[in-house]
Amino acid sequence: MTDRRTSTGRAFGRECEELVLQARGVINDEILEGLLADDPSGLQAWCHLLRVNQDAKRRDAVIENLQAIIKVAPQSLRERLLLGRLLEQRGLTGEAGRQVDHCLETLSQSNPPDHRVINQLLKSIQIGPDARVSMRRFEAFLSALDQFTQLDGPVARTAAIAQCQILLALRNQAAYFEAVAAALLRYPHNQKLKYMDELAMRWRSERFPDASAEKIFVIGLSRTGTSSIHNALAALGFRSVHWENPLTFGVLDSFDYSLFDAFSDISVSAEFESLHYRFPSARFIWTRRPIDAWVRSVANHYENATGVTRPAQLLQSGRAQLFGGRLGAIHASLYGNHESWEATYAAYEQRVSSFFADKPEAKLLEISITEGEGWEAISAFLEVPSPETPFPHLNLGSRKLHRHEL
7 DSSP 8-state letter? -
> What is the spatial distance between Cα 209 and Cα 251, in angstroms, rounded to a whole number?
18
Angle at 171 between CA 105 and CA 212, to 5 degrees: 155
| Residues 11-26 pLDDT 10s | 444 444 444 444 444 4
Q: How many CB atoms lie within 10 A of CB 214?
A: 14
Write out the DSSP string of 291-335. Answer: HHHHHHHHHHHHHHHH--SSGGGGGSHHHHTGGGGHHHHHHHHHT
| Residues 220-273 pLDDT 10s | 999 999 999 999 999 999 999 999 999 999 999 999 999 999 999 999 999 999
Counting every residue written for the chain, the total comes to 406
Residue 7 pLDDT more than 50? Answer: no
Domains in the chain: ranges and CATH: 1-74 (1.25.40), 93-204 (1.25.40), 216-405 (3.40.50.300)
% of the chain beyond a pLDDT of 70: 87
pLDDT at 84: 96
pLDDT at 19: 45
**Is-contact 142 122, C-beta < 8 A?**
no
pLDDT at 150: 87
The contacts of residue 159 (CB under 8 Å, 6+ apart) are 112, 113, 145, 148, 149, 151
32 pLDDT band, cuts 50/70/90, is low
Write out the DSSP string of 23-90. Answer: --SHHHHHHHHHHHHH-TT-HHHHHHHHHHHHHTT-HHHHHHHHHHHHHH-TT-HHHHHHHHHHHHHT
pLDDT at 17: 46
The mean pLDDT of 371-397, rounded to a whole number, is 89
The contacts of residue 345 (CB under 8 Å, 6+ apart) are 221, 291, 294, 295
pLDDT at 41: 61
Residue 88 pLDDT more than 60? Answer: yes
> What is the spatial distance between Cα 79 and Cα 63, in angstroms, rounded to a whole number?
10
The contacts of residue 95 (CB under 8 Å, 6+ apart) are 84, 87, 88
| Measured torsion, CA atoms of residues 21, 24, 27, 32, in degrees rounded to the nearest 10 | 60
320-346 in b/e form (b: 16+ CB < 10 A) is bbbbbebbbbbbebbbbebeebeebbe
> What is the spatial distance between Cα 312 and Cα 85, in angstroms, rounded to a whole number?
22
| Residues 182-205 pLDDT 10s | 999 999 999 999 999 999 999 999
- Max mean pLDDT among 50-59, 81-90, 211-220, 395-404 falls in 211-220
Q: Name which of 14-23, 295-304, 359-368, 390-399 the model is least confident about.
A: 14-23
Please give the model's pTM, rounded to 2 decimal places: 0.88
Q: Give the residue, 93 or 260, on which the prediction is more confident.
A: 260
H-state helical runs in 107-153: 115-126, 131-144, 146-149
Phi, psi (rounded to 5 degrees) for 263: -145, 145
pLDDT at 398: 39
% of the chain beyond a pLDDT of 90: 72
**Is-contact 221 348, C-beta < 8 A?**
yes
Integer angstrom CA distances of residue 269 from 8, 59, 219, 285 = 51, 26, 4, 10
Q: How many CB atoms lie within 10 A of CB 40?
A: 11
Residue 170 pLDDT more than 60? Answer: yes
**Is-contact 208 258, C-beta < 8 A?**
yes
* Mean model confidence pLDDT for the chain: 88
Residue 396, SS3 per DSSP: coil
Phi, psi (rounded to 5 degrees) for 255: -65, -45
pLDDT at 404: 37
367 DSSP 8-state letter? E
Beta pairing class for 364-367 and 283-287: parallel
Element (H, E) at 9: helix 9-22
Beta bridge partners of 367: 287
> What is the spatial distance between Cα 57 and Cα 24, in angstroms, rounded to a whole number?
12
Residue 80 pLDDT more than 80? Answer: yes
291 pLDDT band, cuts 50/70/90, is very high
